[in-house]
Structure 1
Amino acid sequence: MRIRSVCTLPAAVTVAATVAGGSLSWAPAASAQSIDPTPSTSASPTPKNAAETESGGVIILKKDPGGDVLAGAAFTLFDPAGKEAASGKTDAQGQLALKDLTPGVYRLKETSSGSPLHATVDDQDVIVTPGVDTPLTIVDPFKDASVLLKAKDDKTGKPLAGSVVNIGSGDKTLLTLTTGSDGMASGKLPTNSRNSSNFWVKQIKAPDGYEIYKPSKTFQAKPGDPVTVTVTNAKTATTPPPTHEPTDKPTEKPTGRPSEKPTPDKPGKDEATPTPSAPATDTPTTHETTSSTAAPAPKGSLARTGADATPWLIGGAGVLVAAGGGALLAARRRRTDDSAENS
């Protein structure tokens, strides 16, 4: 009998052929380990220093507008979830290193400038790159000066609303303020130096009823300083002096008109015929008064009117009294003489 050999067998099992009663049968034999190694299903080993190459960092350099470095500035770095990832303050060289950061986009916030003269910058995004320390220069501006504007009446000190002024430096206007009902207005004035800066104030609109203040005022201010500027205004002359009253407006009591109802003893100025000051009687006084009124005025005297007839009346009355007294005295003497003759 011819037996055929098996050349190819499974890797994990060896099968043996036996002859029994002239027939061929197959039976499994004991398993044997494969010579070739079996690949591992576990993860490949992590290369050495892989974590270091994948992280990144940020190097901050802090300065002011003049180029001087600023120490003590505080920064905080937040990850995309808003969680704090790193923080610190700049050293004497104005530097701060934030390292071992997972690559990505972070939010950088300056919490303090570390200087009374400088302000902080706005928040900004920072990109962290794997294996790189990203340099970042931050310039803190000088703090603004606080300006308080006051407008007043130059005589009474009353606050004035509606005063508009420009505030600037050199040939540049930096701020425009308008006073409110309390006569005040406030604003922020930018500065650009550690030392005091020079500024000017000019009024461009005066309050209603007041003259504009034409001259320019000057003042100085340091970063962060509070400054008060006062502008005074004089009232506009709207009422002319009494001596300059308009002549086309008639007065309540015109002086050029005669009185409509002159009194008997006070004739009007334009009357030509005087009113007699006493009633006429049967005595010679009436005749003398009439004749004296009709008589021509003596040379060198003014024309007589009813106003100057009084002295003549008084004189005439005196003459009559004297004449009557003389007649009475003569009558008495005559009676005395008659009595003496009869006795």
Structure 2
Amino acid sequence: MHARLVRSAAVAVAAAGTLTWAPAASAQPSEPTPSASAATAETPAPDAGSVEITAKDAAGDVLPDAAFLLLNSTGQEAGRGKTDAQGKLTFPNLTPGVYRLKETASGSPLHEVVTDQDVIVTPGATTRLTITDPFKAAKVLLQAKDDKTGKLLPGATVNIGSGDKSLLTLTTGSEGTASGELPVSSRKAQFWVKEIKAPAGYDLYKPTKTFTAGPGAPVTVTVTNAKTATDPKPDPSDKPTHKPTPTPSTPGKPSSGTGGATPSPSGSDTPDPDSSTLAATSVGDSTPKAPTGSLAHTGADATPWLIGGAAALIAAGGGALALARRSRTDSPTDDSTES
């Protein structure tokens, strides 16, 4: 149709006697021609680079649907996306420079996201990164109980760990419980718990217990303690009473109560008959008399007193014998006189 209009216009011009050239652009299609800038955007720059990401967990399993955001050096978004079934994501056609990579979601309820990191893009090269998402920590609840009554006990301290490494230390509070987060490195991990301090008045729980825990899952750990055995305190009323046993007195030993007695001094060294008779009648008295002017004596110096008492007895016996002989001699004489 456009060709016919052009010919008609040319015929009309020729008929008018005027020669005029009609622009050929009118015969071109009406669709716009792509601009040079659009062609440049579709064609990668010869020095452009790329970033390839592989997302995994601590056990080595790939993580699909992990979401990432890439920012350029000015903080503008340079790309975003999620990992595929193989855990991979690529950001192509990047101008060389330093970029900031952010993980916005792990794509799994068992995993945490990693912290932001810088990525360097070099001309004509692919920067490959392996992102390892950690497992979420297990929620641990510790309980310490009386092994008989089940009462919760404060003041119990335990270590929780795996292998030869301690990972968490907990101490029960006033309610007899404690809680904390236990880092895990697999979907199902085994741990041990050992009590290092017992509650007041209880024995230490010596066995080492084991338990399993998973990422982000709650787990309860319980240790039981037995009361410390104590010996009953003796009743003062049950104590035996020791009474001193009186020591039998020894004949001839002076007692402490009479040791201070002082006999009257004798005026003559020769025994008087009356004094001899008095000595004879007092033979039964086993307590010797202390000489005049002497100090009180105790049982410790009884030997001299025994010797003196024996001499007195001998003298008294001699005097009594002399009196008996004299009385026998005097008796016949009296009878003969009377007859």
Q: TM-score range by the shorter chain?
A: 0.5 to 0.7
What is the Cα-based RMSD across aligned positions, in Å? 3.1
The gaps in structure 1 that reach 5 residues or longer are 1-44, 258-343
Change (3 A) 1:74 1:205: same
Q: Corresponding residue for 1:186?
A: 179
In structure 1, what is the Cα distance between the partners aligned to 2:239 and 2:176?
Answer: 46
Q: Corresponding residue for 1:96?
A: 89
Q: Corresponding residue for 1:116?
A: 109
One-letter amino acid matched to 2:234: E
Deviation at 1:227, TM superposition (A): 0.5
Change (3 A) 1:245 1:126: same
In structure 1, what is the Cα distance between the partners aligned to 2:118 and 2:154?
Answer: 45
- Verify: 1:230 aligned to 2:219, yes or no: no
Deviation at 1:256, TM superposition (A): 9.1
1:145-188: per-residue Cα shift (whole Å, max 9, x none)? 22111122334443322211111223332222222223222222
Q: 2:234 aligns with which of 242, 245, 248?
A: 245
Q: Report percent identity of matched pairs.
A: 65
One-letter amino acid matched to 1:147: V
In structure 1, what is the Cα distance between the partners aligned to 2:85 and 2:240?
Answer: 93
User: Which SS does the other structure have where 1:114 is aligned?
Assistant: coil
One-letter amino acid matched to 1:112: A
In structure 1, what is the Cα distance between the partners aligned to 2:198 and 2:169?
Answer: 14
Q: Corresponding residue for 1:67?
A: 60
Change (3 A) 1:82 1:213: same
- Verify: 1:205 aligned to 2:197, yes or no: yes
In structure 1, what is the Cα distance between the partners aligned to 2:62 and 2:240?
Answer: 87
Deviation at 1:252, TM superposition (A): 11
Q: Corresponding residue for 1:324?
A: none
User: Which SS does the other structure have where 1:97 is aligned?
Assistant: strand
Report matched runs for 1:70-149 at 5 Å: 70-149=63-142
1:62-105: per-residue Cα shift (whole Å, max 9, x none)? 12233332211111122333333321100012110112333322
The gaps in structure 2 that reach 5 residues or longer are 1-35, 244-339
TM-score (norm 1): 0.53
In structure 2, what is the Cα distance between the partners aligned to 1:183 and 1:151?
Answer: 6
One-letter amino acid matched to 2:224: T
Post-superposition, which runs of at least 4 consecutive aligned residues in structure 1 deviate over 4 A?
Answer: 48-51, 252-257
Q: Corresponding residue for 1:161?
A: 154
TM-score (norm 2): 0.53
One-letter amino acid matched to 1:100: N
Q: Corresponding residue for 1:326?
A: none
User: Which SS does the other structure have where 1:52 is aligned?
Assistant: coil
User: Which SS does the other structure have where 1:119 is aligned?
Assistant: coil
1:197-216: per-residue Cα shift (whole Å, max 9, x none)? 22211101112222111112
